Amino acid sequence: MNATTRCTSVLPPVGAPPPEETLHEDELARGLRAADEAAFAAIYQRWGALVHTMATRSLGDTHEAEDVTQQVFIGAWRGRAGFRPERGPLGAWLVGITRRKIADALTARTRRLHLIDSAAHGTDTLRPEGAAMDESLDRIVLLHELSRLPQPQRQVLGLAFYEDLTQAQIAERTGMPLGTVKSHARRGLHRLRLVLEQAPVESADA
């Protein structure tokens, strides 16, 4: 069992009732730095609801907020050696990590929407500029949503996103008229945008 698996195994579900706060914050901080999994679980129960609330308010999506909450505490576990009590309390340190993870999630969402916008307006390529790793992760997300589209839209956008074909190349590959390709692309992109544009996003500092 690796460190990440051990970390996630001690995290109770979001919304679990908080334990009696018998340990002081400085005791929990010492336990975290010592890789004490019981202390880490107590930290999660004490601050998990706050982190989840911040993420939900900023992202507007409960499931995405749950992912961010997990990322926050996994990041805290992995980065526990970097916690410095003299710089501030443990709770404030966790809030700082939360804001960074929320910002990362918002950036990823923006990249996905940019990918859709590029596809909607581009003529030479449907691939936006950006880091290869980030683009690959975004495409995994899009693949899931693409699988839920009607078959003609799924085929057209799949060729665009994953084979980097232009609309003219897609028409040649599939035998569809170019106007039909453009129509399927437009309708599919509209559906994707509705899915990826979650609820209105608030500031991460809200």
pLDDT band at 1 (very low <50, low <70, confident <90, very high): very low
Would you say 200 and 165 are in contact if contact means Cβ atoms under 8 Å apart? Answer: no
- The domains of the chain, with CATH numbers, are 3-106 (1.10.1740.10), 122-196 (1.10.10.10)
Distance separating alpha carbons of residues 44 and 72, to the nearest angstrom: 10
Whether the pLDDT of residue 4 is over 70: the answer is: no
- Of 41-55, 122-136, 143-157, minimum mean pLDDT range: 122-136
Q: How far apart are the first and last CA of the chain?
A: 37
158-180: average pLDDT: 82
Tokens of 138: 């975004």
At which residue do the structure tokens 């990249």 appear? 111
Task: Note the pLDDT of residue 140.
Answer: 57
8 Å CB contact between 91 and 24 = no
Phi–psi pair at 79, nearest 5 degrees: -100, 20
pLDDT tens digits, 170-206: 889 999 998 898 888 888 887 777 766 543 344 334 3
Q: Which residue from 35, 37, 28 is spatially nearest to 94, judged by alpha carbons?
A: 28
Q: Do 198 and 61 form a contact (C-beta atoms < 8 A)?
A: yes
Tokens (6 digits) for 121: 């307006």
Tokens standing for residue 41:
């679980």
* Predicted pLDDT at 97: 94
Full-model pTM: 0.53
Asked if residue 128 has pLDDT above 50, the reply is: no
User: CB neighbours (10 Å) of residue 17?
Assistant: 7
Rg for the chain, CA atoms, rounded:
22
Cβ-contact 55, 68 below 8 angstroms: yes
Report pLDDT for 118.
59
When the pLDDT of each residue in the chain is averaged and rounded to a whole number, the result is: 74
Looking at residue 150, what is its pLDDT? Answer: 87
pLDDT by residue (tens digit) across 37-88?
A: 899 999 999 999 999 999 988 888 788 888 899 999 999 999 999 998 888 8
**Would you tell me how many other CB atoms lie within 10 Å of the CB of residue 6?**
13
pLDDT-based confidence at 156, cuts 50/70/90?
confident
The answer to whether the beta carbons of residues 123 and 173 sit under 8 Å apart is: no
Give the rounded percent of residues in the chain with a pLDDT score beyond 90. 25
